[in-house]
Chain A
């Protein structure tokens, strides 16, 4: 067990009374509550954390926040493992197991680091250039590239065992970022009584104030002020405080998405809480107080473990009480690093020197450093860092005032820590996501928020106001304004007194250190650490002709890693601008997109997974079907019985048995899923006349009629039988899959085009359970089931409806047929579904009643040439194409689709038309979707006639039948066509026929057989 050799006594968030233990790569370590994995590793003296993406270079910890590009680890084991977590963001808990990534066989000795030696052969665009030809080889390359490049591996278990939640919220004011400015704004806004939310991605509020021990607010240490603000806010009922919560998305109309890490930091995790919670918040006014991110400097070897951001070193010392080294070199182009240098020295470290790229350095912090006896090398740059697994030596060179040239010999210094500061970049991501504009700030060398698009304001460092006092003043102003614009009132607080050494923050433009070595020589100078993009890559891209920042970004992949270039974008822009000879604002920026930080897909899915991913609709007879061994198929959201398999049967045998029974004895089908719409109103008949191609106003009460619905382009959209229940009352049925669409369609016409029509539509699909009894014995079975209705042909003819009782159950009985047999559709109130079904099964037992599924239904209807919308049609098929001219009214003045059917192109004899196919060999069943041709020996490209829409072996006919949409099909009847097959099988020969294969006279509808 390793001791915490580099642990300091203090630490604003460290609770030394709660020690924790954890492992990294199998080795045990200790830390404290309040640590991140990164700070605990630093306290233990561990700096080598992972290997880089492309070159497998050793990498350590660079930052102390969510901008970390290097220290990516895998946390947890088994199904709970999560890769690519930033060690700087992983809160320590007892028993945490972390593993390094992207190394083999071990972190220290990694085979893949050969890429680093080979790096001169791996420039920008290497993959594009090398693996372009031949394209078919990509399949071979890809496997190796994917293994060599990339980061951590996802958990091997495909099922994430964690639970995630979503929640919705509205509030007047949301503040992102709980540093000094955010806390101030939240308190000011909360005084109005409006609903206020304050979110911060860290475990504790305070932001940079947790790391700044040199500043006093209202005469108290900054951290005490933070705690006071926090306790004030937590006592206000109108305030929601969300630590560990990242505002990762900024959507239109102030739609804000937050990722809250609820239990990741707890051990053990309480089972009643989700791991993460996705908040979807609609906000009236957003205040962004997201702070800023320090930039690295670009010099050779700047990616070595031990090279860190100066501000991060200060955070590890002040916030976490962990000392990242003992002998430090500070390199900077601005004043802010001086405070970090002093913090390091005060914590017991030895500052070897401050290397400042500026020729003249002055100001309060410079004086403080000098007073503390620290050597300052102004007008110098760090031109190289060296070491194997850790920085051990740096090269320092005198440079010109513009920082572009080296003016003399280098000196070398030993060190175990480099603290670099390239200036501050405002975190404008969310402002940019909200489509706010960015403006260039020449003094501070950064982009800051310009004009806003949404109702949002940026305050503090993310607004380019780096001094705490101006951040607090902006907070009060912004919060007061936000309150006012949401209709609230509050009195502006006075700005707290800030006591701090004055920083004259004006960094020098120094985007890349000059090099003592020649071009392409010397250690690599990284710009994008996570994607291993160097300054040379960017310069190469420019030499190769890339000009646009968007193109350079994609070609070099700079800024395209999961950190979205938080530490790299500005340096990349600076180097690009230099290489192009442009000013930075003229080069422009790329667009920031959500998520701000990588976000768990599990959280976005929430509970909408597995069985809850999509609703499953079951009929009331479902349990009966399951008990009877039914196999099911999905029809839309419905589960329909597909076929009932008896012991020892194949599917084919089961379907054959069911099909034969329906034509010889009786079959029973669960037809409850059929769409049913109740159409009522004075104008119901007029309305249906417009919706259907045929006439429904002439339908007598109690009678049924089959109808076809078209879109206004003349194409078939749905069909079904509609029955007139009363003068102003119809019962419409639709296809199972089309029900919702048909209801919406009819509502649309009623509301938007014909509001004058008095019609009301109600979906009643789920109000009725429907059993369809079909076959020669159907009448006898219903009589045995004690039906109260006279079933004789005269009293109850085909295409009519009667109300009565079946086995004591109130029923609507429709004498309609989708099988061509004598057939009754018995509708009972839904809750009687099983009662009806079992009563019919019992009554039919002596008659050989057989339940049949949707597959048998398809065969039976195909034998009769009945179409299924969506199978024989695909949105390009007219009634004329289907040979259904008989259903298109010539007398009605108008109906939807009428005008389109009159278009000249509709009469084109080359249109695909529905025909039957009978195969030459009765045992050949053509695959559905297969194409038919006239001449299979024609050299490619072969003229296609069209495709097969339905195809079955017909047990009743004893041969194979099919329907097909063929060009000019109606004229082809009697001709031979060929269906070429895949994989060298012989083409199938078939004759084009009419679509009605069975009982063309329709005698069987009456229960009598013509044959």
Chain B
């Protein structure tokens, strides 16, 4: 069982948390018109890398707060945790963030008011 360092409560057993899947997916705003295919990417496409992954976790049986985790899916090493709305600061986390195909996707671009 993993031990996750909740940024608000400290290290706790995995069973106190629930995993919310891939992090840094923004919701396209309805008034920014994008194609069905681009919207489908936001809705359905999730990465499942072997290696460093940016994930959202929630301390469900604790403070109930969401936060981001940089986790190596092979070694299960927790490389970094950081608050919602922030970006990773570790080099592994930054690489994973910047190298994600999502950074250039139409759905991400449609998530800001235009």
A253 to B5, CA, bound (A): 12
Task: Select A900's contact among B2, B39, B75, B76, beta carbons within 8 Å.
Answer: B39
Contact between A753 and B27, CB atoms less than 8 A apart? yes
List of B residues within 8 angstroms of A904 by Cβ? 36
Interface residues of A in 850-909 (CB under 8 A from B): 893-895, 898-900, 903-905
Closest approach, in angstroms, between the C-beta of B10 and any C-beta of chain A? 12
Chain B residues with Cβ below 8 Å from A713 are 43
Chain A residue with minimal CB distance to B43? A713
Q: Is B87 in the interface zone, CB < 8 Å from A?
A: no
Q: Is A747 an interface residue (CB 8 A)?
A: yes
- Chain A: minimal CB distance from B111 (Å): 9
Quick check: A748 and B66 within 8 Å, CB to CB? yes
Taking chain B's interface residues, is the majority helix, strand, or loop, or is none over half, making it mixed?
loop
CA–CA, A282 and B76, complex, Å = 16
| B9 contacts chain A at the CB level, 8 A cutoff | no
Provide the residues of chain B in CB contact with A636, threshold 8 Å: none
- Contact of A751 with B by CB under 8 A: yes
A-B Cβ contacts below 8 A, count:
53
What is the bound-complex CA distance between A251 and B64, given in angstroms? 25
Distance between Cα atoms of A986 and B14 in the complex (Å): 54
B96: Cβ under 8 A from any A Cβ: no
Decide if A255 is an interface residue (CB 8 Å cutoff).
yes
Compute how far the CA of A253 lies from the CA of B15 in the bound complex, rounded to whole angstroms: 13
CB contacts (< 8 Å) of B26 on chain A: these are 753
Tell me whether A755 is interfacial, beta carbon within 8 Å.
yes
A252, B36: Cβ atoms under 8 Å?
A: no
How many chain A residues sit at the interface, stated as a range, is 20 to 34
CB-CB nearest in chain B for A904:
B36
From the candidates B3, B27, B30, name the one contacting A255 in the complex (CB within 8 A).
B3
Q: Is the CB of B27 within 8 A of A755?
A: no
* CA gap between A900 and B3 in the complex, in Å: 37
Whether B65 lies near A282 (C-beta < 8 A) is: no
User: At the interface, yes or no: B112 with Cβ under 8 Å from chain A?
Assistant: no
In the complex, the answer to whether B30 meets A453 with C-beta atoms within 8 Å is no
- From residue 20 to 59 of chain B, which have CB atoms closer than 8 A to chain A? 20, 26-31, 36, 39, 43, 56, 58
Cβ of B3 and Cβ of A282 under 8 Å apart? yes
Say yes or no for A712: interface residue by CB 8 A criterion. yes
- In the complex with contacts A253-B3, A751-B84, A893-B31 CB distance below 8 A: yes
Which residues of the other chain, A, contact B60 by a CB distance below 8 angstroms?
744
* Inter-subunit contact A898/B84 (CB<8 Å): no
Question: B1 contacts A751, CB within 8 Å?
Answer: no
Decide if B16 is an interface residue (CB 8 Å cutoff). no
Which chain A positions have C-beta within 8 A of B58? Answer: 744, 748
Asked if A900 meets B43 with Cβ closer than 8 Å, knowing A282-B3, A752-B84, the reply is yes
User: Which residues 695-739 of A have a CB within 8 angstroms of B?
Assistant: 712-713
Asked whether A903 lies within 8 Å of B76 as measured between CB atoms, the reply is: no
* Docked pose: A755 CA to B85 CA in angstroms: 8
- Would A748 and B36 count as touching, CB distance under 8 A? no
**Which residues of the partner chain B approach A253 to less than 8 Å between Cβ atoms?**
1-3, 76
Closest-by-CB residue of A relative to B26 is A753
Interface size on B, residues (CB 8 A): 24
Q: Residue on B with the closest CB to A754?
A: B27
Identify which of A744, A755, A894 contacts B31 (C-beta below 8 A): A894
Give the nearest-CB partner of A894 in chain B.
Answer: B30
CB distance from A99 to the nearest CB of B (A): 38
Measured between alpha carbons, how far is A904 from B35 in the docked complex, in Å? Answer: 10
Cβ contact within 8 Å between B43 and A712: yes
Q: Which residues of B contact A751 (CB under 8 A)?
A: 65-66, 84
Q: How far is the CB of B112 from chain A (nearest CB, A)?
A: 12
Q: Tell me the complex Cα distance, A905–B30, Å.
A: 17
Contacting residue for B2 out of A252, A894, A905, CB 8 A? A252
Contact B27 A712 (CB under 8 A): yes
Quick one: CB contact mask for A437-469 with B, threshold 8 Å, 1 for yes? 000000000000000010000000000000000
CB–CB B30/A898 < 8 A = yes
Considering only residues 59-113 of chain B, those with a C-beta below 8 Å from chain A are 60, 64-66, 75-76, 84-85
Q: Indicate if the CB atoms of A903 and B36 lie closer than 8 Å.
A: yes
Once the chains are docked, how many angstroms separate the CA of A110 from the CA of B7?
A: 64
- Whole-angstrom distance between the Cβ of A475 and the nearest chain B Cβ: 27
Given contacts A251-B1, A255-B3, A893-B30, contact A899 B66 (CB under 8 A): no
Given contact pairs A752-B66, A893-B31, A255 touches B1 in the complex (Cβ within 8 A): yes
B81 to chain A, nearest CB (A): 14
Q: Which residues of A contact B13 (CB under 8 A)?
A: 255, 282
Nearest A residue to B31, CB-CB: A893
Q: Are A453 and B66 touching (Cβ within 8 A)? A: no
B76 nearest CB neighbor, chain A only: A252
Taking CB atoms, residues of chain B closer than 8 Å to A895 are 30
Q: How far is the CB of A902 from chain B (nearest CB, A)?
A: 8
A-side contacts of B28, CB under 8 Å: 899
- B29 close to A903 (CB less than 8 A): no
Complex interface: chain A residues within 8 A of B1 (CB): 251-253, 255
With A893-B30, A893-B31, A898-B30 already in contact, the answer to whether A752 and B36 are too (CB < 8 A) is no
Q: How far is the CB of B108 from chain A (nearest CB, A)?
A: 13
Quick check: B75 and A747 within 8 Å, CB to CB? Answer: no
A-chain residues with CB within 8 Å of residue B2 when the two chains form the complex: 252-253, 255
Q: State in angstroms the CA–CA spacing of A484 and B76 once bound together.
A: 24
Question: Which A residue sits closest to B44, measured CB to CB?
Answer: A713
Please report the C-alpha to C-alpha distance between residue A339 and residue B31 in the assembled complex, in whole angstroms: 85
Chain B residues within an 8 Å CB radius of A905: 36
Q: Assess whether B56 is in contact with A752, with CB atoms less than 8 Å apart.
A: yes
Q: Nearest chain-B residue to A282 (Cβ)?
A: B3
User: Which of chain A's residues has its CB closest to B39's CB?
Assistant: A899
- Enumerate A230-275 residues with CB–CB distance to B below 8 Å: 251-253, 255
Residues of A within 8 A of B85 (CB): 755
Cβ of A251: which chain B residues have Cβ within 8 Å of it? 1
Which residues of chain A are near B30, meaning CB under 8 Å? 893-895, 898-899
B84 contacts A755, C-beta separation under 8 Å? yes
Please give the distance in Å from B11's CB to the nearest CB on chain A.
8
Q: Would B43 and A894 count as touching, CB distance under 8 A?
A: no
**CA separation between A893 and B32, bound complex, in Å?**
11
Question: Given A253-B2, A755-B85, are A903 and B39 neighbors across the interface (CB < 8 Å)?
Answer: yes
| Chain B interfacial positions (CB closer than 8 Å to A) | 1-3, 13, 20, 26-31, 36, 39, 43, 56, 58, 60, 64-66, 75-76, 84-85
What would 11 A/B residue contacts be, using CB atoms closer than 8 Å? A252-B3, A255-B13, A282-B3, A453-B75, A712-B43, A748-B20, A751-B66, A894-B31, A898-B30, A903-B36, A904-B36
Q: A252-B1, A748-B58 are in contact. List 20 more A-B contacts (CB 8 A).
A: A252-B2, A252-B3, A253-B2, A253-B3, A253-B76, A255-B1, A255-B2, A282-B3, A453-B75, A712-B43, A713-B43, A747-B64, A748-B66, A751-B66, A752-B66, A753-B26, A755-B85, A894-B30, A900-B43, A903-B36
9 smallest A-B Cβ distances: which pairs? A894-B30, A253-B3, A255-B1, A751-B66, A898-B30, A252-B76, A899-B30, A903-B36, A252-B2
